Chains A and B, each alone.
Chain A
Amino acid sequence: MTWFFDHLDDVLSRGLQHAYLAGVPLVIGLLIALPLGWLARRYKFLYAPFTAGFGLLYTIPSLALFVILPGFLGIPILDPVNVLVAMTIYTVALLVRTVADGLGAVPDHVQQAATAMGYTRVKRFFAIELPLAVPVISAGMRVAAVSNVSIVSVGTILGINQLGLFFSDGFNRDFYDPLFVGIAACIVLALLFDAVIIVLTRLFTPWLRATGGRA
């Protein structure tokens, strides 16, 4: 505990960096997954290749991705952009299927009613399909958030600044206080992300609260 209080500044700054590296890709990944998921729904023949194909990206070992990406992007390996891009890829990998399935869960008669009212395709997406897909997309976001927080710490091996550095500190010195603090901080961060997503979801789905979950 004393170690923790002595190094509070370190914990906070590495925590913030960790949150940045895990959180920003979550938002960018969602923005990329939305049109991809929509396409997978819109054109039936795209559904299987898109969901399976993007899903496969998740199986690329993170370490390999961290090492390969700088070559593609022409940036130094320690550049945070490297991590941001890698985490965005993982987020997209998790979310394309989620978005496609979320949009697919909008009941048929609701879609047809929207068409009959004279919604154009684009307006229908934003006004009807997306809001109704929020609960499913949110569930996928929670998985992606936890996954991102955990994968970012792999950056430790490259020496990228984030909470994982505490693990190597502790391990190298056979001194376990930083190790435990690092683990605890990761868990707290994951819980924080989860809480933010839950609060946002509640804000965007007032009808679910009013009806006790019936929609």
Chain B
Amino acid sequence: MIAFDGVTKKFPDGTVAVDSLSLEAPSGKITVLVGPSGCGKTTSLRMINRMIRPTSGTITLDGKDTGRMKESELRRGIGYVIQHAGLFPHRTVLDNVSTVPRLLGMDKTETRKRSMELLERVGLDPAFAKRYPAQLSGGQQQRVGVARALAADPPVMLMDEPFSAVDPVVREQLQDQFLRLQGDLGKTIIFVTHDIDEAIKLGDQVTVLKVGGHLAQMAAPAYLLAHPVDDFVADFVGRDRGYRALSFQATPRLPLAAERTIAMGESAEGVDADWVLVVDDQNHPLGWVEPLRARGAIRTEMLHRGGTVARASGPLRGALDSALSSPSRRGVIVDDSGSLVGTVKAHEVLTAIEQADRPELADPRKPGAPAA
């Protein structure tokens, strides 16, 4: 566990970047620090590994005061992913990943082997090992940055906006992979972002900071969306928080309608419906076509692909979005293997939402409730 106890950072020019901050980041969990630019996120993160020294207050790591540890040793035991990856341009990808194990004097061949494994784990082809950072895309560099931080298997990871420099699609891939990795590794992670969506998606616990380095609220994501403690947090978590909260609610049994489907390559002519769903030979939905307009055998380029597909076991947000985005107004629901189980209309999803329990509202004294 990482604990801040009344930590303040005042820079020599008088800027108070962090103001008597107290918080706890539980072991094996992801604690997200989120807040607007300049609210002291990076400063807080860097005080943990003492790249920045607190003006007052203490930070403990599993009960030990970090101020009493040798700085370089403290840092070798903490993985750090720096904003924009910060890779060493003169070293190959493999050597970058091997940095901390080599500093710790670990065996060369063993380190090499482990680093190669790590590259694969973060989703990089081993063929990249011999390349230099400048030969990688931004997203690939971020992956190397994560692998480098993991290389010496530190129990604690500090991550400063690790996915901010990439486009939304790649960011989502990196986030999903990160969550899978954390599922396996169970590190104690402090993750900094200014993106509230990312905070809500990744955090077991979300800490919202205000400019001036004040703690605004610390809570589990669903609780944060349901109970913003003040106007600042309410504004920060955004206007569509009611919709986003559906991400945390499992989909109950929906009244699914059987959907008329045709296979790719068949003709839709004569089908008596405004839209018909096209599936492949394993009953995986591919897209919609309008029988009145589709002449002859159905080809890929004739499909309307605007509709999203939701898993029956996924969160309610997916089911609602699937209904809202479908050209036929019928949301496509699949099982975990991706096979079609039926379709649902928006009002049916809304009925399900109205009838669902809201556990996050039931107990306002839940752990992670506002500290002050």
Find out whether the CB atom of B89 lies under 8 angstroms from the CB atom of A113: no
Q: Given A118-B76, A119-B72, A207-B134, are A112 and B51 also a contact pair (CB < 8 Å)? A: yes
Q: Which residue of B lies closest to A210 (CB)?
A: B132
Find out whether the CB atom of A109 lies under 8 angstroms from the CB atom of B86: yes
Q: Given A117-B76, A118-B72, A210-B132, are A132 and B86 also a contact pair (CB < 8 Å)? A: no
A13 at the interface (CB under 8 A from B): no
Q: Given A109-B82, A128-B88, A215-B89, are A116 and B135 also a contact pair (CB < 8 Å)? A: no
Specify which of A119, A120, A207 is in contact with B91 (CB 8 Å cutoff). A207
Specify which of A113, A116, A131 is in contact with B90 (CB 8 Å cutoff). A131
B84 at the interface (CB under 8 A from A): yes
B99 at the interface (CB under 8 A from A): yes
A-chain residues with CB within 8 Å of residue B74 when the two chains form the complex = 118
Find out whether the CB atom of A113 lies under 8 angstroms from the CB atom of B103: no
Q: Given A207-B134, A211-B134, A211-B135, are A114 and B88 also a contact pair (CB < 8 Å)? A: yes
The contact string, 1 if C-beta is below 8 Å from chain B, for chain A 71-115, is 000000000000000000000000000000000000101101111
Output the least CB separation between A155 and chain B (Å): 39
Find out whether the CB atom of A117 lies under 8 angstroms from the CB atom of B132: no
A-chain residues with CB within 8 Å of residue B90 when the two chains form the complex = 128, 131-132, 205, 207, 215
Find out whether the CB atom of A119 lies under 8 angstroms from the CB atom of B103: yes
Find out whether the CB atom of A112 lies under 8 angstroms from the CB atom of B134: no
Find out whether the CB atom of A207 lies under 8 angstroms from the CB atom of B75: no
B177 at the interface (CB under 8 A from A): no
> From DSSP, what is the main secondary structure of chain A's interface residues?
helix
A214 at the interface (CB under 8 A from B): yes
The contact string, 1 if C-beta is below 8 Å from chain A, for chain B 79-117, is 010111011111110000001100100000000000000
CA A210 – CA B49 in complex, angstroms?
34
B131 at the interface (CB under 8 A from A): yes
The contact string, 1 if C-beta is below 8 Å from chain A, for chain B 317-354, is 00000000000000000000000000000000000000
Q: Which residue of A lies closest to B104 (CB)?
A: A118
Q: Which residue of B lies closest to A131 (CB)?
A: B90
B73 at the interface (CB under 8 A from A): yes
CA A118 – CA B105 in complex, angstroms?
13
Specify which of B72, B84, B148 is in contact with A120 (CB 8 Å cutoff). B72
Find out whether the CB atom of A211 lies under 8 angstroms from the CB atom of B88: no
A-chain residues with CB within 8 Å of residue B77 when the two chains form the complex = 118
Find out whether the CB atom of A109 lies under 8 angstroms from the CB atom of B83: yes
Interface residue tally for chain A (C-beta within 8 Å): 22
Q: Given A109-B83, A114-B88, are A215 and B100 also a contact pair (CB < 8 Å)? A: no
Output the least CB separation between A110 and chain B (Å): 6
B-chain residues with CB within 8 Å of residue A118 when the two chains form the complex = 71-77, 100, 103
CA A211 – CA B74 in complex, angstroms?
34
CA A193 – CA B75 in complex, angstroms?
43
Find out whether the CB atom of A113 lies under 8 angstroms from the CB atom of B87: yes
CA A24 – CA B99 in complex, angstroms?
35
Find out whether the CB atom of A116 lies under 8 angstroms from the CB atom of B75: yes
CA A114 – CA B91 in complex, angstroms?
12
B-chain residues with CB within 8 Å of residue A112 when the two chains form the complex = 51, 82, 86
Find out whether the CB atom of B100 lies under 8 angstroms from the CB atom of A211: no
Find out whether the CB atom of A214 lies under 8 angstroms from the CB atom of B82: no
Specify which of B75, B88, B148 is in contact with A115 (CB 8 Å cutoff). B75
A-chain residues with CB within 8 Å of residue B83 when the two chains form the complex = 109
Find out whether the CB atom of B82 lies under 8 angstroms from the CB atom of A215: no
CA A109 – CA B71 in complex, angstroms?
19
CA A110 – CA B87 in complex, angstroms?
6
Q: Given A207-B90, A215-B89, are A113 and B131 also a contact pair (CB < 8 Å)? A: no
Residue among A113, A115, A132, A215 with max Cβ neighbours from chain B (10 Å): A113
Q: Which residue of A lies closest to B83 (CB)?
A: A109
The contact string, 1 if C-beta is below 8 Å from chain B, for chain A 123-164, is 100001001100000000000000000000000000000000
CA A109 – CA B85 in complex, angstroms?
8
CA A53 – CA B73 in complex, angstroms?
38
Find out whether the CB atom of B132 lies under 8 angstroms from the CB atom of A211: yes
Output the least CB separation between A175 and chain B (Å): 53
Find out whether the CB atom of B80 lies under 8 angstroms from the CB atom of A116: yes
Find out whether the CB atom of A113 lies under 8 angstroms from the CB atom of B88: yes
A-chain residues with CB within 8 Å of residue B72 when the two chains form the complex = 118-120
B-chain residues with CB within 8 Å of residue A210 when the two chains form the complex = 131-132, 135
Find out whether the CB atom of A214 lies under 8 angstroms from the CB atom of B134: yes
B-chain residues with CB within 8 Å of residue A110 when the two chains form the complex = 86-89
A-chain residues with CB within 8 Å of residue B71 when the two chains form the complex = 118
A-chain residues with CB within 8 Å of residue B88 when the two chains form the complex = 110, 113-114, 128
8 Å CB interface, B51-74 against A: 51, 71-74
Known: A107-B89, A109-B86, A112-B82. 9 other contacts (CB 8 A): A110-B86, A110-B87, A116-B86, A118-B73, A118-B75, A205-B90, A207-B92, A211-B135, A214-B134
Give me the interface of B with A, judged by CB distance under 8 Å. 49, 51, 71-77, 80, 82-84, 86-92, 99-100, 103, 131-132, 134-135, 148, 158
Pull 6 A–B residue pairs with CB atoms less than 8 Å apart, ordered by A.
Answer: A109-B84, A115-B51, A116-B82, A117-B99, A207-B91, A207-B134
Give me the interface of A with B, judged by CB distance under 8 Å. 107, 109-110, 112-120, 123, 128, 131-132, 205, 207, 210-211, 214-215
